[in-house]
Structure 1
Amino acid sequence: MIFKTKTLLPFYCLCIFCAIVLPARAQKTSSKPNIIFILTDDLGYGDIGVFFQNGRKNSGDRSKPYELTPHIDQLAKNGAQFTQQYCNAPVCAPSRASLLTGVNQGNAHVRDNQFDKALENNHTVATVLKQAGYATVAVGKWGLQGAKEEAPNWPAHPLKRGFDHYFGYMRHRDGHEHYPVEGVYRGKKEVWEDYTNVGDKLNKCYTTDLWTAYAKKWIVDHEKSNNAEPFFMYLAYDAPHAVLELPTQSYPKGGGLKGGLQWLNEPAHMINTASGTVDSYVYPEYAAATYDNDQNSATSEVPWPDTYKRYATATKRIDDAVGDVLQLLKDLKIDNNTLVVFTSDNGPSIESYLPASYVPNQPTFFSSYGPFDGIKRDCWEGGVRMPTIASWPGHIAAGKTINAPSILSDWLATFADAANLPTPARTDGVSLLPSLTGKGKQENSLVYVEYFEEGKTPGFKEFEPSRRGRKRDQMQLIRMNDLVGVRYGIKSAGDAFEIYDVVKDPKQTKNLSSLPGFGKIETQMKAKVLQLRRADSEASRPYDDALVPETTVNKKLVRGLRWEFFEGDFPYVISGKGRKPQSSGTTNAINGTEGDNKKGMVLYEACIQVPSDGKYNFSFQVQGKAFVRLHEASLFDADFGYVSNTALTQDAYLKKGFHPLTVYLLKEPDQKNHIVLLWKKDGSTEWKETGAHDFYH
């Protein structure tokens, strides 16, 4: 699959943003909405007003300082709050990779702390939306480009992953500095516009301001030149992460087309806040703020430490930026046809690169983790529960609250659905559009996290005693309805899960695993976390070689496979989720003859009978395109970039019994014998072709 990219105007030729005047026109409507995905860096669930900070403010308790996020709160008021959305991993690289690819950490290519690892050359949100005619742009932090020594031609540059344009920090570590030129704490950084480093022109450009001004300029340029084409913008901020630098000055008055941040396109004065003093501005609300530090109203209040004035300023700057972008959509009369999503990549951080004269950054000051325990790099709720908001006027009811659990990797399927596209079979997520719009049946989201980190959960007195200073190491989280199973320091697949009802007990104070009836649930969790994942040698786990349990069979099985045919000229192998098949039936073989010689996708489902415990080798090839799952794990991906009739191999550790196999076959008329699927027990020299004797349904 080849995607053509547009040539971006040279940096010095960009139109001056503030001089652009668009003619007034009626609100543009389309069946395909514009989509803006706003992702922040290390912003906690508890940092946002509507999720937590407003409660601190309204409590009147002077020992609880609070942050202000009025524009984000208004976004929630106009749309929907997700109270139980999770990130895919509690650190940025794997979290962002899973978001962009729609693949959870059980099947992901980027895992653990693999910063700057190349995002795989496969479906992304951008490649999928381009199939519906979207213009695509990424602005801000990337960190998934691949080999550092290959600049500027990184193997996973955004322009090689479906984006038409890119402007931002390419390397992970560059996102630790919020001034590209001055490098207040971490040194000078590069900013890339497509394949050109333009960082030396960005004097005094605070990155929250810089990304916002560029995003606004790009939207205006797009609407001026090609407003019939919907757009997808991935706006990925690198704040409030780590450095806690301050802007140069107050946020410019107004917002949108004529106010707020503006792109001036003048080297050394590229945006309208690129003046004044670097790292200097604190919002007036915080500059003189005091609090009751000893919880004694009889003693005098003390000023906020400068560290937290900085943190609150960084957060409010993002809030102003969100308000600015939303005002632009109104000014351009495209707000009613734009789906805006706001969230974070993981929980709040304890990291700080401030000089030693500052107090260390502690998320306890604002309770940035909200009503939970845990921070960034934790699989407790505070490390993985995200402050997610979605707004789409006329489609999402104002003031809506969505309590069903979901995960960031669901957004690829959601955006495909909004663009009237099928979801690629490779993706693990489900469309959240039914929850957002109230139309259709919402499928259950698979909330699963696995992660390794050598540190410990902080010993904050606000956290439960049982997890203060808890060693992390290998961690895992699985959610089933209201119950979350968590494991820390995993040594084997048999290790016990702690089980919490996170709806009734969000702070996870009561471990239910030893109560009557929960032993069965724990067994289900232990089975599920093996059935939904595949091992990755670059992110090894102690349960990689564990035997995957067979499926529970509640009926007498008969030989053969069930099949469903979905008619259509699909650009990739589709999942079939949310779609009604045109025909269905049973068969004894996977041969692609179903569908009455029409173009489309055949989905085969069956259980393969494994004769004995052990390691099994599978081999697969197809004439055309296909995708294969064993249980919910990816077994073979013969879709994006696959060369017909190339043999693929994969191993699986399986217990004796029945194991669900799903084959998605993209078929062409008059094309037969698409698939060769072989298997054998490891150590055997003889491959056996699967047939009617192996499949049951």
Structure 2
Amino acid sequence: MRFFHYLLIVPVCLAGWSLPASAKAPKPNIVFILVDDMGWGDLGCFYQNDRHKERKPVLTTPNLDKMGKEGIQLRRHYSGAPVCAPSRASLFSGVHQGNARVVRDNTFDMPLENSHTLASVLKQAGYSTALIGKWGLGGGRESGGGPDESTAFPTKRGFDYFFGYLDHIAGHRHYPANDPAAGPRGITAIWDNDKIITKDCDKAYSTDLLTARAKKWIVDHEKEDPGKPFFLALTYIAPHAALKVPTKAYPSGGGLKGGVQWIGEPGRIINTASGEIDSFIYPRYKRQDWPEFAKRHATMIGRIDEGVGDILHLLKDLKIDKNTLVVFASDNGPHNEGSFYKFVQNPSFFRSYGPFDGIKRDMWEGGMRVPALVRWPAAIPAGQVSQNPGQFHDWMATFAEVAGVPVPARTDGTSLIPTLTGHGERQEPGIVYFEYNYGGKTPAYADFADEHKNAIRGQQQAVYIGKYIGVRTGIKNQSDDFQIFDTEKDPQETNNLATSLPNASKLQQEMKDKVLRVRRVYDYNNTVRGNLVHRPYDNELVPGVEAPDAKPGLAFALIDSKPAPWVPRAPKGTKTESVNGLVFPASLASDKKGFSGEWSGLIRIPKDGDYKFFVKTDANSGSKAFVRLHGKDGMALVDADFAYTPGEEVDSSAAMGTDECKPAKTGMTPVHLKAGLHPITIGYVHGAGESAPVLDFSWKGPQIKKALVPADAFFQVSAHQNR
């Protein structure tokens, strides 16, 4: 039986969180390689190789192209946002920007909320975890955090080890010991866990430094704990701003004995930390009659390409490459910046945005659609190309599945395993959603459509429904219409279908309703920087749904007869039984051993207005709950899951688990709901102990004093439309 077939049918094991003893294949190692501001069009096998045929300026990525041939090319994969901080927050937290609690818009160096992360989920699944590269989500103070004051330092968000750039602005310095200092310490901090080792990094070029450290970490892990799976997030700072290049050519070979190597000596920390700083341009580019910025951009991407090839070579040398899942992606579209350096990038030279319009900070495809490759020889058939839409928050669900653990109810994502393993026709659709605000305009590059040149950015929003994406920019009111595009047929988004589709008005309303149902109003107030994100539709009432076949009660699904360490999402197709409201089936009402379950159905909101909701579980260790409105990727309503104290009441604050906030101002905003029926999902874990299961779910609203939600407020439908 092929391994990927096994993954698709393996039952989730909640006790001990291990795969069944009958499983022949171990959990895969996972390496997620994230680059900074590399455009979809910068990747050879996506776009640049075709330019070569047209005799246009071309940059090459042979190692990445090979990776794409050996696995799958995700040609319709989207970042979390069109700029780095919120995009990375969505990736690591597993939620789209509508449910992000702290990092939205340009909230750089704000503390990622204290909840599930890719690292914490995989650590719970038995993985060693490391982040090597750029973080930018640590908190503290902008451009000056540290492990003591940064409440979201990587080792506080599930990573066993951290090496690299904590602060956002430090990530512009490709020679941390030699470039102008970034931050109040008078130094560009390179952290080795809790120590700054910048002075040891003389002449060390960022891409080489991070590649060498990643290689050393993998080698050390395999020596010290062979057989234990690992998760490595390798987050390069290239090819972002400050177009700086290496000191010398990439060392020959690769892997254990070749390529870049970690020396560890002060002043010679890696084997390429010598020669002239910022001097090496690849010969294939140096001889071209190109602007200097173009040669530098191409060299930066070439260095990433060689670094990725070096990592893959190492995995083969260690004989672990077949069961190592490697993902390569960029955090957003290409940039047009220069930072502190004299050279400024122009993404139109190589058409880094590919066949699309838009760049970093644009809601057009070029700002959000990113190069994405996945290689895993044990499970992913080679030579695949997928056009299935997916987004950064899908990786948490995907990695949970490959690690043999349930998908946390907290994530908005959908597992991409069907697509990755060659069964894209079975892929359950997920949500692709964006919201972002930034001043200025889309650049007027010659190859952009006229209607996109100098287009106002401002408040921007995008959402997929079926095959169509809705985009609106410069939003003033919730009533503003979406432009609607079929991006598979019209990648440049020049044919607005908002009035020509047969069901255009219906689809327009669906999009306007959808974007209210999938988000929480931003409600985080920082002690230093205040409240930074406001939307013109924040005060709108969230509409309900039509359900003519609704009948009293809820559907209850027993996910497992054991307690899970987090609230799990019920897998599609889980058997349910009808219950009279939010009550336990008779077989579980007196349970003392623990279990994991989920109620689904509809809740009737009696009047338009502002509501607050409250959850309290029994006091057994491990009991917890999570409530969501409008489906598995809809509004996160009440989080009594991560770091929850059993037996305590929590409310529907949109700022649960946030740090460095103003408690008297954070999480105070109620939920704005229209009267009617709203899909609801209530996940619950009953910890083993003396108490029988208890889950109190209360509300407070217009003419409603705080009270338990009555049984007659719950309804169920045969189609389970909230799934």
TM-score, normalised by the number of residues in structure 1: 0.90
Call closer, same or farther: CA 1:127–1:392 in 2, change over 3 Å: same
For 1:442 and 1:599, how far apart are their aligned partners in 2? Answer: 32
**2:175 counterpart (169, 172, 179):** 179
Asked if 1:353 is matched to 2:333, the reply is no
Asked if 1:523 is matched to 2:509, the reply is yes
Matched to 2:388, the amino acid is A
SS in 2 for 1:238: coil
Corresponding residue for 2:684? 665
SS in 2 for 1:349: coil
Corresponding residue for 2:534? 540
SS in 1 for 2:41: helix
**2:697 counterpart (671, 677, 697):** 677
Call closer, same or farther: CA 1:592–1:129 in 2, change over 3 Å: farther
Deviates more, 1:395-404 or 1:233-242: 395-404
For 2:64 and 2:219, how far apart are their aligned partners in 1? Answer: 22
Corresponding residue for 1:76? 68
For 2:503 and 2:581, how far apart are their aligned partners in 1? Answer: 40
Matched to 1:679, the amino acid is W
Corresponding residue for 2:526? none
SS in 1 for 2:347: coil
Asked if 1:205 is matched to 2:204, the reply is yes
Corresponding residue for 1:152? 147
Do 2:181 and 2:188's aligned partners in 1 also have CA atoms closer than 8 Å?
no
Asked if 1:335 is matched to 2:321, the reply is yes
Corresponding residue for 2:610? 615
How far did residue 673 of structure 1 move? 5.5
Corresponding residue for 1:690? 709
Asked if 1:565 is matched to 2:585, the reply is no
Equivalences for residues 372-411 of structure 1 within 5 A = 372-411=356-395
Corresponding residue for 1:131? 124
Matched to 2:269, the amino acid is M
For 1:648 and 1:524, how far apart are their aligned partners in 2? Answer: 32
Corresponding residue for 2:407? 423
Call closer, same or farther: CA 1:593–1:249 in 2, change over 3 Å: farther
**1:486 counterpart (442, 462, 471):** 471
Corresponding residue for 1:24? none
**Deviation string for 1:12-53 (max 9, x for gaps)?**
xxxxxxxxxxxxxxxxx8420000000000000000001100
Corresponding residue for 1:238? 237
Matched to 1:42, the amino acid is D
Do 2:181 and 2:187's aligned partners in 1 also have CA atoms closer than 8 Å?
no
How far did residue 688 of structure 1 move? 3.1
For 1:314 and 1:673, how far apart are their aligned partners in 2? Answer: 57
Do 1:244 and 1:354's aligned partners in 2 also have CA atoms closer than 8 Å?
no
For 2:580 and 2:538, how far apart are their aligned partners in 1? Answer: 33
Do 1:201 and 1:270's aligned partners in 2 also have CA atoms closer than 8 Å?
yes
Do 1:592 and 1:674's aligned partners in 2 also have CA atoms closer than 8 Å?
no
Matched to 1:681, the amino acid is G
Asked if 1:556 is matched to 2:549, the reply is yes
SS in 1 for 2:57: coil
**Deviation string for 1:534-589 (max 9, x for gaps)?**
11134221111101111122x322111111111134111101235734x5333333
**Deviation string for 1:210-235 (max 9, x for gaps)?**
00000001111111111121100000
**2:349 counterpart (352, 357, 365):** 365
Asked if 1:309 is matched to 2:295, the reply is yes
For 1:416 and 1:517, how far apart are their aligned partners in 2? Answer: 38
For 1:380 and 1:456, how far apart are their aligned partners in 2? Answer: 12
For 2:606 and 2:125, how far apart are their aligned partners in 1? Answer: 45
Asked if 1:34 is matched to 2:33, the reply is no
Deviates more, 1:455-464 or 1:522-531: 455-464
For 1:150 and 1:265, how far apart are their aligned partners in 2? Answer: 25
Q: Which portions of structure 1, spanning 4 or more consecutive aligned residues, are displaced by more than 4 angstroms?
A: 184-188, 591-596
Matched to 1:91, the amino acid is V
For 1:314 and 1:188, how far apart are their aligned partners in 2? Answer: 23
Do 1:592 and 1:673's aligned partners in 2 also have CA atoms closer than 8 Å?
no
Deviates more, 1:109-118 or 1:617-626: 617-626
Do 1:563 and 1:587's aligned partners in 2 also have CA atoms closer than 8 Å?
no
**Deviation string for 1:156-212 (max 9, x for gaps)?**
111111111010001000001100101069684110011111111100000000000
For 1:594 and 1:177, how far apart are their aligned partners in 2? Answer: 61
Do 2:557 and 2:574's aligned partners in 1 also have CA atoms closer than 8 Å?
no
Matched to 1:346, the amino acid is N
Do 1:40 and 1:239's aligned partners in 2 also have CA atoms closer than 8 Å?
yes
SS in 1 for 2:238: strand
Alignment gaps of 5+ in structure 1? 1-28, 290-302
Call closer, same or farther: CA 1:551–1:136 in 2, change over 3 Å: same
Asked if 1:50 is matched to 2:45, the reply is yes
For 1:37 and 1:158, how far apart are their aligned partners in 2? Answer: 15
Alignment gaps of 5+ in structure 2? 1-23, 524-530, 653-669, 717-723
Equivalences for residues 134-283 of structure 1 within 5 A = 134-148=127-141, 151-153=146-148, 154-183=150-179, 188-283=187-282
Asked if 1:433 is matched to 2:417, the reply is yes
**Deviation string for 1:446-475 (max 9, x for gaps)?**
100111111211111211111211111111
**Deviation string for 1:611-632 (max 9, x for gaps)?**
2222223222222200000111
Corresponding residue for 1:633? 635
How far did residue 591 of structure 1 move? 4.6
For 2:587 and 2:534, how far apart are their aligned partners in 1? Answer: 40
Do 2:41 and 2:351's aligned partners in 1 also have CA atoms closer than 8 Å?
yes
The size of the alignment, in residue pairs, is 649
**Deviation string for 1:285-327 (max 9, x for gaps)?**
00011xxxxxxxxxxxxx1010110000000000000000000
For 1:185 and 1:47, how far apart are their aligned partners in 2? Answer: 30
Matched to 1:119, the amino acid is L
Do 1:41 and 1:346's aligned partners in 2 also have CA atoms closer than 8 Å?
yes
Deviates more, 1:144-153 or 1:123-132: 144-153
Identical-residue share of aligned pairs (%): 46
**1:66 counterpart (50, 58, 72):** 58
Do 2:559 and 2:596's aligned partners in 1 also have CA atoms closer than 8 Å?
yes
